[in-house]
Amino acid sequence: MSKELKFKPIEEWGFNFESPLIMAGPCSVESEEQVMETALQLKDQRFDILRGGIWKPRTRPNSFEGIGSQGLKWLKDAGNAIGKPVATEVANVKHVYESLRMGIDVLWIGARTTVNPFAVQEICDALQGVDIPVLVKNPINPDLELWIGAFERLNRAGITKLGAIHRGFSTHEKTKYRNIPRWNIPIELKRRFPGLPLICDPSHICGTREYLREVAQTAMDIGFDGIHLESHINPDKALSDAKQQLTPAAFGELINSLQMRQSLEQNPYAENQLEMLRGRIDHLDHYLIEMLSERMDVVREIAEYKREHNLAIVQPSRWTEILEDRVNSGQRKNLTEKFIKELFHAMHKESIHHQTEVMLQPDGNKVEKNA
């Protein structure tokens, strides 16, 4: 079903968007002057879409929840003043109707809305038959299927001008980010849907200005199709997301400092060079699989022995010893502790599975696991 998703290439959206696609603008539209002044200051920077939140999904009710419908005209006027299309977030039918009535050019569905299929469906029903680009932020939880589900719903409503915005995932872990990137998730989305434009939102990933550049550069290095950054004329005084917004000038500097990468289709020479290296990777991967299979043969031999001698499968001290030793040896080879632990836990799980199978063979004695 997912394979049938239809995406219209950005070049056919009816705007003159450049590549990479760049969105910039305040977290919230706060006043007519603030959004107009931000737009005027952004005018000479390289960007394609002016963004601004009108209705803000805030964690606590006593914070600024957006200026509401009156701000739509201010946003549209600011876009017109600099000749750029404008985008805002919609979370319900009212938001959709009011945005369409005001001629908002691009809509996005926020992370807190993508998690809720009822809300996404309601938006899709309101958009049935409307030809407008819709960008979908990832759900706050790392659930790729839920993210894809929103594209499927939009497609069913006839919307094909679609884009994905990666804004990181909420976590209880203490990290330097407000929302951890978990790059593997947008990468998997891109692998499954190469035609779906993928935009990175370093502002909501970082939560502070400090790491914006590094995250934006990583997105370019990976091959994202666009960048989304919040920009405000006076970031420290912003009514929402004050710590992560950039002045228009700082936004321009950041964009200009990015090293843009080409896709392989744009550079056939690189494709040839990479082929050799990819050949080596293929060879090493098959070698790894052979080694893992040989290791599993030894595991099965051990299991036979344990069965014959009535020993339990898991011997905790041996497992602790293996883990410590492999982490140390991995670190000497530039592999992180986290990676080695995850790898060995996965191998251990598979090895227990093989051992249990051997133990359960008809002539085996019943053995108690001490795992």
Please tell me whether residue 124 adopts helix, strand or coil conformation. helix
Which residue lies nearer to ligand PEP by CB, 114 or 355?
114
Out of 21, 22, 24, 27, the only residue in the binding site for ligand PEP (CB under 6 A) is: 27
Q: Measured between alpha carbons, how far is 182 from 327 in angstroms, rounded to an integer? A: 23
Q: Tell me the per-residue interface mask from 227 to 266 with Mn ion, x by CB under 5 A, - otherwise.
A: --------------x-------------------------
Under 8 Å between Cβ of 88 and 63? no
Q: Which does 137 bind (CB under 5 to 8 A by kind): Mn ion, ligand PEP, none?
A: ligand PEP
User: Is residue 111 involved in binding ligand PEP (CB under 6 A)?
Assistant: yes
User: Is residue 27 involved in binding Mn ion (CB under 5 A)?
Assistant: yes
Q: What angle do CA 211, 140, 9 make, to 5 degrees?
A: 80
Q: Residue 20: is the preceding peptide bond cis (ω within 30°)?
A: yes
Question: How would you classify residue 153: left for phi > 0, otherwise alpha for psi between -120 and 50, otherwise beta?
Answer: alpha
- Distance in Å, CB of 350 to Mn ion, minimum: 43
Which residue lies nearer to Mn ion by CB, 20 or 26?
26
User: Is residue 206 involved in binding Mn ion (CB under 5 A)?
Assistant: no
Can you list the positions of beta strands (E) in 179-319?
198-200, 226-230
User: Is residue 205 involved in binding Mn ion (CB under 5 A)?
Assistant: no
Out of 76, 84, 95, 137, the only residue in the binding site for ligand PEP (CB under 6 A) is: 137
Which residue lies nearer to ligand PEP by CB, 123 or 303?
123
Q: What's the length of the chain?
A: 371
User: Is residue 110 involved in binding ligand PEP (CB under 6 A)?
Assistant: yes
- Distance in Å, CB of 58 to ligand PEP, minimum: 9
Can you list the positions of beta strands (E) in 74-225?
86-89, 106-109, 134-137, 162-166, 198-200
Which residue lies nearer to ligand PEP by CB, 197 or 359?
197
Cα–Cα distances in Å, from 305 out to 41, 118, 263, 314, 359? 75, 56, 54, 13, 10
How many CB atoms neighbour CB 39 within 10 A?
Answer: 28
* Interface of this chain with ligand PEP, residues 45 to 104, rule: CB under 6 A: 53, 57
Which residue lies nearer to ligand PEP by CB, 205 or 313?
205
Cα–Cα distances in Å, from 363 out to 102, 266, 305? 77, 62, 13
User: Is residue 204 involved in binding ligand PEP (CB under 6 A)?
Assistant: yes
Binding site for Mn ion (CB under 5 A): 27, 241
Binding site for ligand PEP (CB under 6 A): 27, 53, 57, 110-112, 137, 167, 204
